[in-house]
């Protein structure tokens, strides 16, 4: 990028127009930050200021890590993308679905969260075994035949974590810690329980705007509406918490062979061919986009109560945008559009 001073000036002016935005924004060129700023508060009650090292819930940005566990196990010959899922999770009443269908959201599986919302005792915390048991017990109808269309599915990624456990013989959280976070040097990244987050000094809590109170209130003040609490032991679709700088380390690792070979990784950045002959816009844990000026883009958004998150990787141009927001700001689409435009405008 031509001038980090120029990009800084532009973004300072832009963010001045949304004074209540809270979060961390990082823009990097070939791994070097050209813009990094913290806005707002880690906790609106205590007014503890946001820092660039604050830890956020990543929500669905976690899916790319779940996909990576599967890529690693495939590279080691411990599973195949076209394995049927019943090989790893017996008893699921949805035949004909493969690991590949789960990875690219073409399985047609019903939403496990919906089943749990209707039937689960929310005074208890559910994990994957509970989710799978309830899918078997209540057997909600599938949406479509496997491979027929693309429909974003948290169920698929919850099942992928359980498949990774079965194929590796290791707990999913331990696998992520020892095989991904530690080798990449992501020292602030983990899959944490609520209790572990409470004692963290630099956690950025998710906040929601409550119009009656005319202020932002912590999202965990409403536990019955907060699936992040009563589905708090789920693995796969969300639950990783991290910092912007750790995500930049992850971004860098994906340009190397540290986790998997570039040949293996290339599979994750390919769209899925549907049975209709058309292509889906999603690879393995990544949304796939083409930018007119900068070429191929792989990205993902996340959305948890009080949080909105995004990583955008311009992999042809080697530029990266990371946005972690802890007050689910309504102007997030505008923020992302402005950042993408600034990156494109200042590209060499």
User: CA 311, CA 286: separation in Å to the nearest integer?
Assistant: 10
Q: What is the DSSP string of 175-233?
A: HIIIIIIHHHT-TT-EE--HHHHHT-TTB---EEEETTTTEEEEGGG-GGG-HHHHTTB
Q: Please name the residues in contact with 68: beta carbons below 8 A apart, sequence gap of 6 or more.
A: 180, 259, 260, 268, 285
Rounded CA separation 92/66 (Å)? 20
Determine the Cα–Cα distance for residues 143 and 171; give it in Å rounded to an integer.
30
Please report where in the chains the tokens 């549907």 appear, as a residue: 274
Looking at the DSSP assignment, which residues form a beta bridge with residue 323? Answer: 25, 310
Strands (E), the chain: 23-29, 32-39, 41-43, 48-49, 56-57, 190-191, 207-210, 215-218, 240-242, 287-291, 295-304, 307-314, 319-325
Quick check: is 168 catalytic?
A: no
Cα–Cα distances in angstroms (integers) from residue 14 to residues 34, 111, 134, 209, 216, in the given order = 16, 38, 47, 22, 22
Report d(CA 163, CA 287) in Å as an integer: 22
Catalytic residue chosen out of the listed positions 60, 62, 241, 242: 60
Helix (H, G, I), strand (E, B) or coil at 298: strand
- Name residue, tokens 């809270």: 22
**Residue among 42, 37, 41 at smallest CA distance from 13:** 37
Enzyme catalytic residues: 60
């Amino acid at each position: 990028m031509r001038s980090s001073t120029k990009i800084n000036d532009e973004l300072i002016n832009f963010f001045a127009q949304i004074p209540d935005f809270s979060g961390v924004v990082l823009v990097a060129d070939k791994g070097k930050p050209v813009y990094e700023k913290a806005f707002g508060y880690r906790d609106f009650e205590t007014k503890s200021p946001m820092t660039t090292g604050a830890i956020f819930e990543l929500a669905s940005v976690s899916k790319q890590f779940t996909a990576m566990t599967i890529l690693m196990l495939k590279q080691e010959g411990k599973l195949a993308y076209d394995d049927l899922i019943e090989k790893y999770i017996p008893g699921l009443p949805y035949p004909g679905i493969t690991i590949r269908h789960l990875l690219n959201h073409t399985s047609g599986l019903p939403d496990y969260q919906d089943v749990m919302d209707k039937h689960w005792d929310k005074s208890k915390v559910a994990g994957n075994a509970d989710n799978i048991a309830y899918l078997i017990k209540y057997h909600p109808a599938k949406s479509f035949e496997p491979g027929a269309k693309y429909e974003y599915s948290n169920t698929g990624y919850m099942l992928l974590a359980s498949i990774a456990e079965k194929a590796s013989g290791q707990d999913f959280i331990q696998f992520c810690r020892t095989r991904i976070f530690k080798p990449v040097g992501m020292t602030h990244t983990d899959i944490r329980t609520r209790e572990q987050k409470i004692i963290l000094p630099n956690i950025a809590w998710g906040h929601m705007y409550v119009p009656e109170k005319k202020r932002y209130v912590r999202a965990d003040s409403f536990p019955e509406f907060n699936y992040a609490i009563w589905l708090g032991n789920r693995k796969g679709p969300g639950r990783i918490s991290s910092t912007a700088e750790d995500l930049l380390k992850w971004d860098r690792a994906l340009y190397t062979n540290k986790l998997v070979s570039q040949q293996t990784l290339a599979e994750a950045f390919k769209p899925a061919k549907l049975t209709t002959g058309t292509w889906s816009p999603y690879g393995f844990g990544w949304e796939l986009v083409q930018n007119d000026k900068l070429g191929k883009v792989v990205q993902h958004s996340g959305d948890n109560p009080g949080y909105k998150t995004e990583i955008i990787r311009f992999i042809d141009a080697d530029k990266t945008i990371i946005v972690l927001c802890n007050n689910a700001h309504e102007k997030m689409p505008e923020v992302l559009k402005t950042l993408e435009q600034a990156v494109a405008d200042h590209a060499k």
